[in-house]
Amino acid sequence: MKSLIILISGRGSNMQALLEANLDVDNITVISNNPSATGLAIAKRFGVQTVVIDHRTYPDRITFDTALAAEIDRCEADLIALAGFMRILTDGFVNHFQGRLINIHPSLLPAFPGLGTHARALHEGVKIHGCTVHFVTPQVDHGPIIIQAAIPVLFDDTEETLAARILQQEHLIYAQAVRWFMADKLKCSHNHVSIDDMTICEPILYSPGLQH
């Protein structure tokens, strides 16, 4: 029985994409640190169980992460997917779920870790930008890369137009990464991820070309 936990803090766009992806998962639970997260209502419309663990009711990051880890363990999650979860997780939490914790980041890692990726990409004048699904490690935005999508940066792009096109790719590759994990296809060794029995229809780099 496959169980997926999705962690959110806000609107849950990537969460919704996962819920719409018809994943081969027996049980999905959405957990938010924010009681006002709009993604909670979306999850309920999909008939998904939701849990709120409000970080503001805990004195520090360690006690919050301990409570969050206990809830995830109670759910016996095979995989935990961060989907706009706006918390820096403690090393203890990350190590506890090592190999079962993934994240999606709006850049082609290792380029532009952290926040403000689209503005930084435009400022640096890069010609290609994108998004990355990776395993989470204690070093923020530096875990083993599972899959990426790359798009060209257009001459008239703004942060908003670039973000919108990249978000479309995020929705595609996050679902693919979860499918591979749940099918036991992902193998990680020395910071490199390989996919067993990959077909030609399952690229590890999506490059959809020009789109507006």
Q: What integer pLDDT is reported at residue 210 of this predicted model?
A: 44
105 is an active site residue = yes
User: Per residue in 60-82, is it b (16+ CB within 10 Å) or e — as a string?
Assistant: eeeebbeebbeebeebebbbbbb
Q: Let me know: does 104 contact 15? Beta carbons within 8 Å.
A: no
pLDDT per position as a tens digit, 34-67: 999 999 999 999 999 999 999 999 999 999 999 9
The candidate with the shortest Cα–Cα distance to 130, out of 99, 173, 100, is: 173
Q: What integer pLDDT is reported at residue 202 of this predicted model?
A: 64
CA separation for the pair 89, 72 (Å, rounded):
14
> Residue 136 phi/psi, 5° resolution?
-90, 135
What's the Cα-to-Cα distance from 90 to each of 72, 94, 119, rounded to whole Å?
Answer: 15, 6, 27
Domains delineated in the chain:
1-97 (3.40.50.170), 103-212 (3.40.50.170)
CA separation for the pair 75, 77 (Å, rounded):
5
**Options 105, 118, 129, 171, the catalytic residue:** 105
Taking 70 as the pLDDT cut, the residues of the chain under it are 198-203, 208-212
Helix (H) or strand (E) holding 27: strand 27-32
Number of DSSP helices (H) and strands (E) in the chain, helices first: 6, 10
Q: Strand, helix or coil at 178? A: helix
User: How are strands ordered across the β-sheet holding 79-82?
Assistant: 49-52, 27-32, 3-8, 79-82, 101-105, 128-135, 145-152, 205-206
For the record, the structure tokens of 159 come out as: 């942060």
For the record, the structure tokens of 115 come out as: 């926040």
Across the chain, which distance is largest between two alpha carbons, in Å?
A: 50
Alpha-helix runs per DSSP H in the chain: 13-19, 38-45, 61-74, 91-96, 117-124, 159-182
